[in-house]
Structure 1
Amino acid sequence: MKYKINILIFSLISPFLFSQEKNYTEKDLSIPTNSVTINGTLLIPLINKKTPLVILIPGSGPTDRNGNNVQMINNSIKYVAEGLAKKNIATYRFDKSVLSYTQNNKEKIDSITFDTFIKEAKTVIKYFKNTGKYSKIIVAGHSQGSLVGMIASQNNTDGFISLAGAGRTIDEVLVEQIEKQAPFLKDETIRVLAKLKNGNLVEEFNPMLQSLFRKSVQPFLISWIKYNPQEEIKKLIIPVLIINGSKDIQVKIMDAKLLHQAKKDSQLEIIENMNHLFKEIKGDLNENMNSYTNPNLPVMRNLITKIVTFVNEIE
C-alpha cells in the first residue's frame, strides 16, 4: 500500500515539475563602458523570432543585478526579469558600477556621479541596439534608476517604464524624509541642500547629517540634484508606463501622479498592496519592512502582467 501511495504522489508532482521548466536561457554578460565594465545577466526566451528586450536599471546604493545589497536580500529585480522572460520578453539586469570596484579603489568610487550612471545606461542601451537581435528595446528603471533610465532613454529606446520612481528632485525628497525622521534637522538640511544645488561643496554642517552629506558624497548629490524628473520625462517621445504601489513606504503615489501629469500621454498604474520592492503587503509596516530581507517572497503577478501588456502594445 505504501508503495502505491508513493507512486501516486510522484505521479501528481511530476507534471508540476515539468511545467516549471524554464522557457528561456540565462547567461552572464559583461559590457565595457568608458568608466568600468558593467556586469549583468541576460535572459533570452527560447522562441525562433526576435523578441522585445527590457533593460532593468536598479535603484540607489550598491545594488546588484537582483535588487540586493549586503544589508537587504530580496531578489526583487531578479523575479521581475524572470517573470518577463517567461512571457517571451528578453531581459538584461546589471550590477551598479560601484560593485565593480574593490575597497582599494576609493578614489574611483568617490568619483562616481549621477551622470556616470546615465552614461553607463546609455552604453548598455547602445550595445543591445547594435546587436540588432531585438524587435524593440524598453528601459525599466527602479527607484533612483527611474530617473537614470528616463534620461538615458531619450532618443534611444522604444519605450520607458518608471518603477517606483520619484516625481520630485532629490532635495525635495530628502527634506521630506528628514522632516519625518528628525524634524529638528530640517532647517539644516535645507541650508546644505541649497548650497549643493548651486554647485557648492559644504564644509561645515551638523555632524548628525554626516552619513547624508559627507564630503565624498557631495559631488554625487550635486550631479543628481540638478535633474527634475518632471522635466526629464517630458522629453520622452516614446510610450511611457508609470507604476507605483499603494504600499510603497519610500516613494509616494503622489510622485507617480506628478510624473503622469508632466507626461500626460503616459500610462499610470497604481498596484494595490504592492510595496517598493514589488511584493504584496496585506498587513502593517512590520510586514512591509520584513519583505526587504525575504528573498523567497515573489513579486506581484499583476506587475508582470502590466509590464508585458505595455511592452507588447508598443509598435
Structure 2
Amino acid sequence: MQAPRSLSWPVALAALALAGPARADEHPIALQTPTGTLNGTLHLPQDTKPAAVVLIVAGSGPTDRDGNNPLAGRNDSLKMLAQALARSGYASVRYDKRGIGQSGAAGGDESALRLDTYVDDAAAWVDKLNASGRYPAVAVAGHSEGALIGMLAAQRGKVASFISLAGSADGLGALLRKQLASQLPPDLAVANERVLQSLEQGKPTADVPAPLLSLYRPSVQPYLISSLRYQPARELGKLNVPVLLVQGTTDIQVGVEQARALQAAKPDACLAIIPGMNHLLKEVAADLPAQQRSYGDPALPLHGELPATLAGFLRKPCQPPGKVTAG
C-alpha cells in the first residue's frame, strides 16, 4: 500500500466552503413507503443551482435527521453538515428514519424492523431524487451505522459517489465485543458471548440475562440478526463509484484503524483523516468529559476542515491510488 499523499483540494477550496453565513432554503420533503411516510428536510443552496444533491443517512438508534439522539442530547451535527454543503453549492436531503422523529408512524412493530428495511428506504430516497430531474447527480453520505446503510443503498441505485463519515469496517459482532469487553463482569461477558454467537448463527434466543435485555431484548433480536450478517469492509469493496472515507482522530467510538481497514478493502477510495475530529464531526479533545459535553452542545460547530474536505471530493472525486490524508 502506498504511503498517504497530501490532500491539496480542501486547502484550495476552504475559503469557498467556509465563507460567510449559510444562505440556504429549507423545505419539507417526504417519501411514501408501503408502511408509512418518511419525513425529511431538503436543504437548497441559495442563489445558485445545486451542483448535486447529497442524501444524508443518520447513525444508529433513535438518531434523527439533525444528528440528535434523545438518549445522548442535542448536537445538530447533521443539520450543520447540510448547512455546510449548502454553502459549497450542494443540496442535501436528511430524513428521520422510520420509527424516529416525524417518521415515527412508519415504524411499526420493533420486531418487524430489519437493517434491510433502512436500506430499502435509503435506496428509495435515491430513486426519488434521481427521478425528480432537478439534480445533475446524487451522492450518498452515511454517518456511523448510516455508512453501512448508505453503502448498501448505493449498491442498488444510480449514485455518483459515496461518503463514509466515521463508518466502521468491522461488522456489528466485532463492534459489540470490543465495546463491551471492558464493561461486563466475567459472568455477563460469558453470557454476552453465548447470546451473540446464537444471533450470529441466525438463531434468536430467550436465554438473555436481565442486565443484557436492553441490548438483546427479543423484539430487537431480528434486527440484530439482520445486521450481523453484513461486514462493511466487504460491502464497500462492491461499490464501483468514487468513495471518500472520513475519520477523525479523536473519535472514541470508531477508531482511525477502521477507516484504514475500509480503504484496504477498496484501495481506490480516498481517505481523509482529520486531526481532532470526534464522532460527531466536531473538533473535540480526546478526553472523556469533553467528548460527553459535545453530545449535548448544539453551539459547537463542525470541525473546520470537514466542509472543504467534502466539497473538494464532491467537485473532483479522487482517482486511484486515492490514498490521501487531510490535516
| TM-score between the two structures when normalised by the length of structure 1 | 0.89
**CA–CA distance in structure 1, aligned partners of residues 216 and 156 of structure 2:** 34
Tell me which residue corresponds to 1:53. 53
Tell me which residue corresponds to 2:305. 302
Tell me which residue corresponds to 2:89. 88
**CA–CA distance in structure 2, aligned partners of residues 128 and 93 of structure 1:** 12
Q: 1:194 to 1:79 in 2, by over 3 A?
A: same
Q: RCO higher in 1 or 2 (8 Å CA, sep ≥ 6)?
A: 2
**CA–CA distance in structure 1, aligned partners of residues 108 and 281 of structure 2:** 35
Unaligned runs of 5+ in 1: 1-18
Contact kept? 2:111, 2:219, Cα under 8 Å: yes
Q: Which amino acid aligns with 1:144?
A: E
Contact kept? 2:75, 2:294, Cα under 8 Å: yes
Q: Which amino acid aligns with 1:177?
A: Q
**Which whole-Å deviations, capped at 9, do the CAs of 1:9-48 have from their partners, x for residues lacking one?**
xxxxxxxxxx956432111111112332111111112345
Q: Which amino acid aligns with 1:254?
A: E
**CA–CA distance in structure 2, aligned partners of residues 282 and 112 of structure 1:** 36
Tell me which residue corresponds to 1:178. 180
Tell me which residue corresponds to 2:285. 282
**Which whole-Å deviations, capped at 9, do the CAs of 1:44-72 have from their partners, x for residues lacking one?**
12345452111100000111110012231
Tell me which residue corresponds to 1:35. 35
Q: Which amino acid aligns with 1:96?
A: K
Q: CA deviation at 1:234?
A: 0.7
Contact kept? 1:155, 1:236, Cα under 8 Å: no
- Which 10-residue stretch deviates more, 172-181 or 22-31? 22-31
Q: Which amino acid aligns with 1:216?
A: S
Q: 1:303 to 1:50 in 2, by over 3 A?
A: closer
Tell me which residue corresponds to 2:4. none
- Which 10-residue stretch deviates more, 139-148 or 246-255? 246-255
Q: Which amino acid aligns with 2:161?
A: G
Tell me which residue corresponds to 2:78. 77
Unaligned runs of 5+ in 2: 1-18, 319-327
Secondary structure, aligned partner of 1:66: coil
Q: How many residues align?
A: 295
Q: Which amino acid aligns with 1:86?
A: R
Secondary structure, aligned partner of 2:67: coil
Tell me which residue corresponds to 2:224. 221
**CA–CA distance in structure 2, aligned partners of residues 230 and 34 of structure 1:** 31
Tell me which residue corresponds to 1:160. 162
Tell me which residue corresponds to 1:5. none
Secondary structure, aligned partner of 1:127: helix
**Which whole-Å deviations, capped at 9, do the CAs of 1:237-269 have from their partners, x for residues lacking one?**
000001111110111111111111001100111
Secondary structure, aligned partner of 1:203: coil
Contact kept? 1:57, 1:142, Cα under 8 Å: yes
Contact kept? 1:158, 1:314, Cα under 8 Å: no
Q: 1:305 to 1:198 in 2, by over 3 A?
A: same
**CA–CA distance in structure 2, aligned partners of residues 275 and 106 of structure 1:** 30
Q: Which amino acid aligns with 1:46?
A: Q
**Which whole-Å deviations, capped at 9, do the CAs of 1:176-195 have from their partners, x for residues lacking one?**
11102115233222211111
Contact kept? 1:101, 1:109, Cα under 8 Å: no
Q: How does 1:120-269 map to 2 (within 5 A)?
A: 120-156=121-157, 157-184=159-186, 185-269=188-272
Q: How does 1:58-69 map to 2 (within 5 A)?
A: 58-69=58-69
Contact kept? 2:22, 2:86, Cα under 8 Å: no
Fraction of identical pairs, as percent: 37
**CA–CA distance in structure 1, aligned partners of residues 306 and 123 of structure 2:** 25
Q: 1:76 to 1:106 in 2, by over 3 A?
A: closer
Secondary structure, aligned partner of 1:293: coil
Higher Rg of the two aligned structures: 1
**CA–CA distance in structure 2, aligned partners of residues 47 and 137 of structure 1:** 20
The yes-or-no answer on 1:98 pairing with 2:103 is no
**CA–CA distance in structure 1, aligned partners of residues 86 and 122 of structure 2:** 21
Q: CA deviation at 1:122?
A: 0.4
Tell me which residue corresponds to 2:118. 117
**CA–CA distance in structure 2, aligned partners of residues 107 and 93 of structure 1:** 21
**Which whole-Å deviations, capped at 9, do the CAs of 1:81-130 have from their partners, x for residues lacking one?**
1011011011111112112235xx98523311101000000000000000
Secondary structure, aligned partner of 2:139: strand
Q: CA deviation at 1:221?
A: 0.1
Q: CA deviation at 1:155?
A: 4.5
**CA–CA distance in structure 1, aligned partners of residues 182 and 138 of structure 2:** 39
